[in-house]
Amino acid sequence: MSCMWRLSRKLGQKKQRLLEAEQHQSPPDGTPTPSPKEPRLALGPQRSIYFSSPRDPPARLGLDFFDQPAVALARAFLGQVLVRRLDDGTELRGRIVETEAYLGPEDEAAHSRGGRQTPRNRGMFMKPGTLYVYFIYGMYFCMNVSSQGDGACVLLRALEPLGGLETMRQLRSSYRKGSTGRALKDRELCSGPSKLCQALAIDKSFDQRDLTTDKAVWLEHSPAGPREPAVVAAARVGIGNAGEWTQKPLRFYIQGSPWVSVVDRIAEQNTQV
DNA sequence: AACTTGATGGACT
DNA sequence: GTCCATCAAGTTG
């Protein structure tokens, strides 16, 4: 009977999760949502995005945004829109729903642990907003953005695809082995750090690029959502033996979003809604 | 061994 | 259909 209780509780959580997901999703057709109020973000004393230099895309986020400590930046990323412009002019867009903070030399799980600086991880030590793209497991890429703090950065782990989904599907399929497989579901396009790199055609050539000035990739201010989404803080994924650093809650995701790569139900119990 | 993924097989709804 | 556990896949430090 405690089994029964546990089961029904589990189902209840799932229902609740789907319900919340609907609230946090953007309109399916990408129609701009009327914004009743300016979104409350920890951007500091930043000029209005509408008065940036005329040649820039109106909503591109600048150095003011990226120049904050890794944890703050990892949280601030949630909801913002990553845009990738392909050579043929196609724009791929995705709303960031999951990130991880890597804090720098003291963080035993970071590539910059102990202050290690190599040609590979140089991007981590460059100015905030610089990309650090690395090759992993012999076949994938992961995309990080340098934050304030030497050797600190934020890993982008999952996006809600907003535009260019068919191109993303093609890009993702073309990288796969058989390439004869079924069409990927929308949820499979960007739900993981290497998946989103495939979907947006991000590879090593993007390493050390500047997100505030690059012509092919940038970050745009989030359209205002229905309400401030709840953010879950959970342990990072794929951290092996990094002592105390393995369990630290440095992964952040939008609670209830169906686009997140890995959900942590235990961590969600500590999230206030 | 690594900040991952996709295919596969089994249990379950 | 979903979900979960397992494992193999290439390269780099």
More confident residue, A59 or A1: A59
Q: Exposed/middle/buried for A149, CB within 10 Å: 0-12, 13-18, 19+?
A: buried
Nearest to A26, CA basis, from A120, A125, A104, A96: A96
Give yes or no for residue A83 having a pLDDT over 80: yes
Query: Which nucleotide has the shortest C1'-to-CA distance from A177?
Result: B6
Give the three-class secondary structure for A193. Answer: helix
**Do residues A219 and A200 lie in contact, with contact meaning Cβ atoms separated by under 8 Å?**
no
- List strand C contacts in A 80-139 (CB < 7 A): 118-120, 135, 137-139
Q: How confident is the model at residue A174 (pLDDT cuts 50, 70, 90)?
A: confident
**Do residues A86 and A167 lie in contact, with contact meaning Cβ atoms separated by under 8 Å?**
yes
Residue A185, C-beta contacts closer than 8 angstroms, at least 6 positions apart = none
Please give the pLDDT value at position A223. Answer: 81
Q: Exposed/middle/buried for A182, CB within 10 Å: 0-12, 13-18, 19+?
A: exposed
Report the distance from CA of residue A14 to the C1' of nucleotide B13 in Å, as an integer.
13
Please give the pLDDT value at position A22. Answer: 47
What's the farthest any 2 CA atoms get from each other in chain A?
65
Residue A24, C-beta contacts closer than 8 angstroms, at least 6 positions apart = A225, A226, A229, A254, A255, A256, A257
Report the distance from CA of residue A138 to the C1' of nucleotide C12 in Å, as an integer.
8
Give yes or no for residue A241 having a pLDDT over 70: yes
Average per-residue pLDDT for chain A? 82
Residue nearest B6 (alpha carbon to C1'): A176
**Chain C positions with any atom < 7 A from a protein CB:** 3, 9-13
Report the distance from CA of residue A2 to the C1' of nucleotide B9 in Å, as an integer.
30
Query: Which nucleotide has the shortest C1'-to-CA distance from A134?
Result: B3
- Beta strands, E only, A55-179: 81-85, 91-102, 131-136, 140-146, 153-163
Residue A254: strand pairing partners: A231
The structure's pTM equals: 0.83
Nearest to A68, CA basis, from A128, A125, A110: A128
Tens-place pLDDT, residues A128-137? 999 999 999 9
Please report which residue ranges of A39-97 form alpha helices under DSSP H.
63-66, 70-77
Reading phi first (left if > 0) and then psi (alpha if -120 to 50, else beta), residue A21 is in alpha
| Average pLDDT of the segment spanning A110-126 | 96
CA distance A99 to A77: 7
Give yes or no for residue A35 having a pLDDT over 50: no
CB proximity A182–strand C (7 Å threshold): no
Query: Which nucleotide has the shortest C1'-to-CA distance from A140?
Result: B4
CB proximity A114–strand B (7 Å threshold): no
Q: How many CA within 13 A on the CB side of residue A229? A: 31
Reading phi first (left if > 0) and then psi (alpha if -120 to 50, else beta), residue A201 is in left
Please give the pLDDT value at position A36. Answer: 38
CB proximity A178–strand C (7 Å threshold): no
